[in-house]
Homo-oligomer: A and B are copies of this chain.
Amino acid sequence: MVVNCFKRHGAETIDTPVFELKDTLTGKYGEEGNKLIYDLEDQGGEMLSLRYDLTVPFARYLAMNKITNIKRYQIAKVYRRDNPSMIRGRYREFYQCDFDIAGVYDPMIPEAECLKIVVEILEELKIGDFIIKLNHKKILDGILAVCKVPTDKFRTVCSSIDKLDKASWDDVELEMVNEKKIDTDIVQKIKSYVCPPALDSSTQLLERFQTDEALQKNSDVVDGLKDVHLLFSYCDIFGISKKVVFDPSLARGIDYYTGCIYEAVLLGMSLDSDNRPQICNGEVPGESTSVGSIAGGGRYDKLVGSLSPKHKQVPCIGVSIGIERIFAVMLQRAEAENRKIRSCETDFFVASAQKNLLKERLRLCRELWDAKYKAEISYKANPRLLDQLQYCEDRGIPYALIIGESELQKGVVKLRHISTREEVFHNA
């Protein structure tokens, strides 16, 4: 389904190795991330590490092969030397599912397509109500400049703001003042921009920013707002602007973003005390109950250049779908609705009620396979009918085709619907 969506948007897939040179990865993921890179033992040969994400390997691939434009998707595993926790959904090995557009293009058209893809995938998966938070690195940096945050503290302040989806403003404020030694005045000013007192609509918030004298003097903010405006106009055309919310508090941890950043969050789901997703029954209001990000990405125009020997820049934008988190939510929903998720897709099981009909079962099964039906038989020479029907129930196989001596003589098979137990005869 996800792959079909990527293909529908013209993407090809590329496959990069699970190893990268250790040097390529070092220093790309911030202090915490770098500690989690898995290194291979030095058994002679290059110093290699396992990939930490799919973005840096993609950028390395573009730089190495001098590719200046491509639209690619990749679904593959990444590795983090973390303390695994099943309950909190933290694994050492997990899938990432990325779509990226590389090339020099006119502003916001690729951005709009990335957002459209997120909406198409999440709607098709019927995963529940969601919104996409949208911000712009230049707006965020501009706000910090306007608030007079010292330039060398931009990153650390951003990483505090990044915690706002999980922590309250008061906690974040405390961290900024006490740990990061930011003046209280500055922190209050930041709050007035990233946590406006009234929860305005995107349009109102954008308008407020556009009429804010201090912000209008900062060219980064002006550029960023212009981009966001244009992007919203394209989202209108794509029929997705109701799903997109301008959120100046969205920061995203990673350093390499240079333009628009975005993150999709599910509404109406909360986390229980073990941080597992729980379905709410509507009594908890909107955004505060979000299960966390299920997709996210942004523009990174300088990463390819930093990996290229001649520093040739290739502007890129991408989005990563949090496929394992989405599956966890879907499983949760299926359990809540008492639906079983089948592990096989078999439609027909060829059974027999009598002994010595192995060859007839094999023959019928062959006909089904050759006609491209999904079919199974028991591997026992003389299985009991009850065992065969039980197998169908356990595996959710909808139909059994039952043959016996009398059916064979008449040239028919008995078709049994497993759940209703209805039976009809068909010509063989």
> A interface vs B, CB < 8 Å?
7-12, 17-19, 38-43, 45, 71, 77, 79, 81, 92-93, 101, 103, 105-106, 109-110, 112-113, 116, 120, 234, 237-239, 343-346, 358-359, 362-363, 366, 369-370, 372-377, 379-381, 395
Contacts and interface: CB of A to CB of B under 8 A. Distances in A.
Given A9-B369, A10-B344, A93 B19 contact: yes
Count this chain's copies in the assembly.
2
A354 B77 CA distance: 44
A41 B43 CA distance: 9
Contact of A7 (B43, B362, B374): B374
Nearest to A83: B45
A238 B18 contact: no
B106 A381 contact: yes
A375 B112 contact: no
Given A39-B43, A93-B19, A8 B369 contact: yes
A346 B77 contact: no
Contacts of A17: 92-93
Nearest to A14: B343
Contacts of A116: 366, 369
Given A8-B369, A10-B346, A234-B362, 6 more contacts: A10-B344, A18-B79, A71-B344, A101-B379, A103-B379, A237-B362
Given A93-B17, A369-B9, A369-B120, A40 B43 contact: no
A85 to B, nearest CB: 14
A319 to B, nearest CB: 15
Given A39-B40, A39-B43, A8 B373 contact: yes
A243 B379 CA distance: 22
B77 A376 contact: no
A149 B377 CA distance: 42
A93 B395 CA distance: 34
A376 B117 CA distance: 13
Contacts of A45: 81
Contacts of A238: 362, 366
Contacts of A343: 12
